[in-house]
């Protein structure tokens, strides 16, 4: 009996896409800069038009390229965003039957550690950005949409302040696109603002233990509030289509 090769060969278009990304990096091409014309790329990579276009289309879907129309147009480099990660995560979780409760559980596990890391790494600029979110939350106490926008910026800023890009992108992907809808009372918004102030205070003092503990308490309270107010929302399946 002939055994099949367990190593699946990669498609030519995917291999070419990897070469293109490597060349973009090696050539130092940044967002807004154009790739060579199609004919030049076909010659440089010794490939056909169909394979090249498939590779470029793949990179467009990954958020690495966009296409400028008209004369002088063509593939243009762009910086990928967390939106791509959010889409991939949503699809993975949707087909695995995941519930929104699991997203909050994940955040409860790693966000306290992020706050702990951020205490020793946060910059003066990031501390200022956090203060701005607190001011915006206070100004938006009567407006839930404004309040939630500032709340999310607070968590995203701490994630990036951890100095770990992976956590930064994860929070970017989880905090808004895959968030749980909870209608909050004024009293609850005031409680959240108080929690954020305590976290900010710990970060300003470079107290990692306190920052982690305060974030842990804050997220536990958020989870408990959601479980009480919107239990069905927590058990709602994650969907790429959104809310």
* 185: confidence class by pLDDT, cuts 50, 70, 90: very high
pLDDT attached to residue 181: 74
The per-residue DSSP string of the chain comes to -PPPPSSPPPPHHHHHHHHHHHHHHHTT--TTPBPPPHHHHHHHHT--HHHHHHHHHHHHHTTSEEEE-STT-EEEE----HHHHHHHHHHHHHHTT-BHHHHHHHHHHHHHHHHHHHHTT--HHHHHHHHHHHHHHHHTTT-HHHHHHHHHHHHHHHHHHTT-HHHHHHHHHHHSTTPPP----HHHHHHHHHHHHHHHHHHHTT-HHHHHHHHHHHHHHHHHHHHHH-HHHHTSBP-TT--
pLDDT attached to residue 170: 93
Domain with residue 127: its CATH number is 1.20.120.530
221 within a domain of the structure (yes/no): yes
- On whether both 153 and 209 belong to a single domain, the answer is yes
- On whether both 150 and 182 belong to a single domain, the answer is yes
pLDDT attached to residue 242: 55
44 within a domain of the structure (yes/no): yes
pLDDT in tens, 147-156: 999 999 999 9
* 2: confidence class by pLDDT, cuts 50, 70, 90: very low
Domain with residue 70: its CATH number is 1.10.10.10
The more confident residue out of 241 and 30 is 30
The domain boundary, picked from 77, 105, 121, lies at: 77
190 within a domain of the structure (yes/no): yes
- On whether both 224 and 109 belong to a single domain, the answer is yes
pLDDT in tens, 22-71: 999 999 999 999 999 999 999 999 999 999 999 999 999 999 999 999 88
Q: What does the alpha-carbon distance between residue 135 and residue 170 come to, in Å, rounded to a whole number?
A: 25
150 within a domain of the structure (yes/no): yes
The more confident residue out of 181 and 204 is 204
Q: Which residue segment(s) compose the domain that 204 sits in?
A: 83-234
pLDDT in tens, 200-222: 999 999 999 999 999 999 999 99
4 within a domain of the structure (yes/no): no
Residue 134 confidence (pLDDT) above 70: yes
pLDDT in tens, 71-115: 888 999 999 999 889 989 999 999 999 999 999 999 999 999 999
- On whether both 16 and 115 belong to a single domain, the answer is no
What φ, ψ does residue 199 adopt, rounded to 5°? Answer: -65, -45
The domain boundary, picked from 35, 61, 77, lies at: 77
- On whether both 120 and 191 belong to a single domain, the answer is yes
Q: What does the alpha-carbon distance between residue 58 and residue 51 come to, in Å, rounded to a whole number?
A: 11
pLDDT attached to residue 176: 77
Q: Which residues pair with 237 in a beta bridge?
A: 99
* 7: confidence class by pLDDT, cuts 50, 70, 90: very low
Q: How many domains does the chain have?
A: 2
- On whether both 29 and 53 belong to a single domain, the answer is yes
Residues 122, 124, 128, CA angle at the centre, nearest 5°? 105
Residue 182 confidence (pLDDT) above 60: yes
pLDDT attached to residue 177: 67
- On whether both 46 and 111 belong to a single domain, the answer is no
- On whether both 194 and 127 belong to a single domain, the answer is yes
The domain boundary, picked from 77, 110, 129, lies at: 77
Residue 8 confidence (pLDDT) above 80: no
- On whether both 48 and 130 belong to a single domain, the answer is no
- On whether both 38 and 138 belong to a single domain, the answer is no
32 within a domain of the structure (yes/no): yes
27 within a domain of the structure (yes/no): yes
* 10: confidence class by pLDDT, cuts 50, 70, 90: low
The more confident residue out of 4 and 66 is 66
240 within a domain of the structure (yes/no): no
pLDDT attached to residue 243: 45
């Amino acid at each position: 009996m002939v055994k099949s090769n367990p190593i699946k060969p990669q498609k030519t278009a995917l291999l070419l896409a990897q070469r293109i990304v490597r060349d973009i990096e090696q050539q130092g091409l940044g967002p807004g800069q154009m790739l060579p014309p199609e004919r030049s790329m076909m010659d440089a990579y010794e490939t056909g038009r169909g394979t090249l276009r498939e590779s470029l289309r793949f990179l467009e879907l990954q958020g690495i390229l966009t296409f400028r129309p008209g004369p002088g147009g063509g593939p243009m480099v762009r910086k990928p965003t967390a939106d791509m990660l959010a889409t991939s995560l949503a699809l993975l979780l949707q087909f695995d039957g995941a519930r929104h409760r699991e997203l909050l559980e994940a955040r409860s596990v790693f966000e306290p550690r992020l706050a702990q890391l951020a205490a020793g790494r946060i910059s003066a600029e990031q501390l200022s950005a956090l203060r701005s979110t607190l001011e915006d939350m206070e100004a938006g106490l009567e407006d839930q949409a404004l309040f939630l926008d500032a709340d999310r910026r607070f968590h995203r800023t701490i994630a990036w302040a951890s100095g770990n890009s992976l956590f930064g992108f994860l929070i970017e992907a989880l905090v808004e696109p895959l968030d749980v809808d909870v209608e909050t009372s004024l009293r609850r918004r005031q409680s959240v603002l108080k929690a954020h102030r305590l976290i900010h205070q710990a970060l300003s003092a470079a107290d990692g233990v306190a920052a982690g503990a305060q974030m842990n308490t804050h997220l536990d309270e958020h989870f408990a509030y959601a479980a009480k107010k919107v239990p069905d929302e927590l058990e709602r399946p994650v969907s790429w289509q959104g809310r």
